[in-house]
Structure 1
Amino acid sequence: MISNMVILCDTREQKNEHILSAFEKAGLQYQKKALKTGDYSFMIRACPELGFAYDTYFTDEIVIEKKNSLSELASNFASASDDGERIFKEFNRMINVERAYLVIESDSIDGIFEHKYRSEFNPDSFIRTLITWQARNYMHIYFCKKENTARMIYELCKNCLDAKILK
């Protein structure tokens, strides 16, 4: 089953060469595809002997939104009114997804409280906005080192697949 799993990477995702390289190094299949929501999801290639008569997409079951840093996320939040609230529209599309994840690279939650990000966005507003969206979307938020992001994406997809197949 895992050998038929293909991680989907949104074609608009930038600065993800380290992730794609890690997928290749680990022998994981991936495909660049325009995703309606989020930066990563997965599919299972057609495998009739396993009950998948055609390619099966799990884009309604799992969405992974990745941010390169707290600075990027703070900038998205701070400029929401200037760019038509793009980040909030993205989060709104995640509401109906079973498993919504926000993966933030290279930082920790402490960075918000200690204002260790490049933005004038107030730390109190930042944490409150993040908590509000987390609660509203039942979104899980993970912080990880840049070198572990590909593994985190894989593990989240594999966990979703296991839950769907083993339920």
Structure 2
Amino acid sequence: MRYHYSEKEIKTLAACLTILHDTREQENGHILSWLDKSGIPHKQRSLQTGDYSIMLPACPELGLPRDIYLAAAVERKSGVDELVETMKDRTRFENELIRGQQLEFFVVLVEDADGYGKIVRGEYRSKYEPKALQASLAALSLRYSCPVHFVPREHSARWMYSHLYWHALERLRRPPAAAWHWRNGSGCPDPTASEALKNVARNERG
């Protein structure tokens, strides 16, 4: 397994980066359409955390014998109403954020540029009190180191892809062993992969 690539090799690998979208993700036709129009490969997979992630297909000629899944994910909310409904089930939402903490990159993307303004003004269907909602959102975001981004729906696909893509490029250029996860067929981390990567890193340091 190689860790250090030239810029030419990185460009070759970057062209193969593939977006993963969760099997439970709904009403995402605008995102898949943008990916298709942009010529970006994508696959539907069962994701343990988040709605979107990114992977690097096997590339034996560059030392990658198996698919590599980055420890990165984006949780998408279709608007403020969905965000608020999710937060009402606090335990479930916190569990999602806790799982997100195990990743290198995890954010919540809300498809509404004026989403925070709507929260402040109480412009949502729920009876959740605006100040209490603001406090909960800030507390959870800070407690679990999970930023919440409010983005126009028409730009959400580009935003999601660009952040996952550049995270992947940074890891190709500066790859800590923990950033990569080989996975078995069930979509779960291969329990031997982490130790294997550590051994490779130790051997390379010589």
Asked if these proteins are the same fold (TM beyond 0.5), I'd say yes
Decide which of 91, 94, 108 is 2:115's aligned counterpart: 108
Q: C-alpha distance in 2, partners of 1:25/1:125?
A: 41
Q: Distance in 2 between matches of 1:52 and 1:132?
A: 40
Choose which of 127, 147, 152 in structure 2 pairs with 1:145.
152
Instruction: Report the Cα distance in structure 2 between the residues aligned to 1:140 and 1:159, rounded to whole angstroms.
Output: 17
Report the CA distance between 1:2 and its aligned residue: 2.0
1:125 and 2:137 aligned: no
Partners of 1:50 and 1:133 in 2: CA distance: 41
Which of the residues 60, 67, 74 maps onto 2:77? 67
| 108-117 or 16-25: bigger deviation | 108-117
Matched, 1:3 2:15: yes
Report the Cα distance in structure 2 between the residues aligned to 1:117 and 1:98, rounded to whole angstroms. 32
Q: For residue 108 of structure 2, what is the amino acid of its counterpart?
A: L
Letter in 2 for 1:63: A
Q: Which has the higher helix share?
A: 2
C-alpha distance in 2 between matches for 1:138 and 1:74? 19
Q: Secondary structure at the match of 2:159?
A: helix
Gaps in structure 1 of 5+ consecutive residues: none
RMSD: 1.3
Q: Which amino acid aligns with 1:149?
A: S
Q: CA deviation at 1:108?
A: 2.5
Aligned partner of residue 53 in structure 1, secondary structure: coil
Q: 1:12 and 1:38 mapped to 2: Cα distance?
A: 10
Distance 1:127 1:50 in 2: 48
- The structure 1 residue matched to 2:166, chosen from 132, 137, 159, is 159
**CA distances 1:102-132 after superposition (whole Å, capped 9, x unpaired):** 0000243111111121111111121111111
Comparing 137-146 and 33-42, the one that deviates more: 137-146
Shift of residue 151, structure 1, vs aligned partner: 0.4
The alpha-carbon deviation at position 53 of structure 1 amounts to 1.7
CA distance in structure 2 between the partners assigned to 1:76 and 1:57 by the alignment: 27
Structure 1 residue 49, shift from structure 2 partner: 2.7
Aligned length: 161
